[in-house]
Chains A and B, each alone.
Chain A
Amino acid sequence: DAKTTQPTSMDCAEGRAANLPCNHSTISGNEYVYWYRQIHSQGPQYIIHGLKNNETNEMASLIITEDRKSSTLILPHATLRDTAVYYCIVRGALYNNNDMRFGAGTRLTVKP
């Protein structure tokens, strides 16, 4: 069963913020939210992950709602190179856990 729901596709103008939503209404207390992306013809690339606090790194910000039933990945200034499929994944234990199930993801197209 899919643990997450994401829109199939989204567009974003170059230089604007891209906000990618993810619903995970059945998330349990010890499950983390991970985001990966996959640029065409490449392997997936880790972006960010979080448990309940908002997180930020050099690539993106992750905003998790207080009830943890949804989250948003924010790319603050999207570039053409950010065009990719973005996967939101809910998984259990942080370490030594192989429970990473990708869904279909959101295809983000950044337009000039």
Chain B
Amino acid sequence: GAGVSQSPRYKVAKRGQDVALRCDPISGHVSLFWYQQALGQGPEFLTYFQNEAQLDKSGLPSDRFFAERPEGSVSTLKIQRTQQEDSAVYLCASSLEGDKQYFGPGTRLTVT
């Protein structure tokens, strides 16, 4: 069956550009999570949705980061005015009931 998909898989942005990263969760999964993974580190929690409601955005590193899930399925993570420190892999995960999370392959963002 279809798993979590993310696009694009790779993104190169010049510093100062805005980027939008897309996540297609497993159909019917209520919960959706975004993580940021720096090189050599474990994933770090960014934000969490239950259906269309963003219940926790405590992990977003600055107000340049914004996530939405307007219809409770596809989600977009937007980063405005990208900085070099934003370079990382951005992972999306979905879950039916919030217990097991199923991860996508990630989007590798490189800011030059």
Contacts and interface: CB of A to CB of B under 8 A. Distances in A.
A94 interface: yes
B42 A96 contact: no
Given A43-B93, A43-B104, A98 B48 contact: yes
Contact of A95 (B35, B91, B99, B105): B99
Given A43-B4, A43-B105, A44-B91, A94 B45 contact: no
Contacts, number: 54
A102 B103 CA distance: 13
Given A96-B31, A97-B98, A98-B48, A103 B104 contact: no
Contacts of B97: 95-96
**Most chain A CB within a 10 A radius of its CB, from B50, B91, B99:** B99
Contact of B100 (A46, A96, A101): A46
Contacts of B103: 42-45
Interface residues of B, number: 25
A98 B98 contact: yes
B106 interface: yes
28 contacts: A41-B105, A42-B106, A43-B4, A43-B93, A43-B103, A43-B106, A44-B43, A44-B91, A44-B93, A45-B103, A49-B99, A49-B100, A85-B42, A94-B98, A94-B99, A95-B97, A95-B99, A96-B31, A96-B98, A97-B98, A98-B55, A98-B56, A100-B45, A100-B101, A101-B45, A102-B42, A102-B43, A104-B42
User: Shortest 9 CB-CB distances between A and B: which pairs?
Assistant: A43-B103, A102-B42, A98-B48, A96-B98, A95-B97, A46-B100, A95-B98, A102-B43, A44-B103
Interface of A: 41-46, 49, 85, 87, 93-98, 100-105
